[in-house]
Amino acid sequence: MTREEFEGLVSEALDRIPPELTRLMDNVAVFVEDEPPPDDPELLGLYEGTPLTERGEWYAGVLPDRISVYMGPTLRLCRREGGDRELVVEEVEITVVHEIAHHFGIDDERLHALGYG
């Protein structure tokens, strides 16, 4: 899968987020990266920022939160599981929802319980 195709899948996953949720997202940017930080080579996605639930009066003039979706580990995971393009689509969607949920202040434990682990 090319990077452009993968970026398209991330874009499609973002488009499937309900509009009532995307309207609440604030000061966040989504990026596709080839690989995660070297200390966590299997990481599929990462949210960096201040969740909406933790923002207060002090939150102004800051750089956008950052959601990164990592192409390399996602494709390797799907290949190991013998998956095809449909598995990649599913993993990308799970990763995008997972990281957006962090933006809303939802922790990993709750996400795993909901099936977005």
Q: Within 13 A of 26's CA, how many CA atoms are on the CB side? A: 13
Among 7, 2, 22, smallest CA distance to 68 is for 7
Alpha carbon separation from 75 to 19, 26, 34, 55, 108 (Å, rounded): 28, 29, 10, 34, 22
pLDDT above 90 (res 11): yes
What is the pLDDT of the chain when averaged over all its residues? 93
- Structural domains in the chain? 1-49+62-112 (3.30.2010.20)
What pLDDT digit, counting tens, does each position of 17-68 carry? 999 988 999 999 999 999 999 999 999 999 999 998 989 888 888 899 999 9
Tell me, yes or no, if the pTM score tops 0.75.
yes
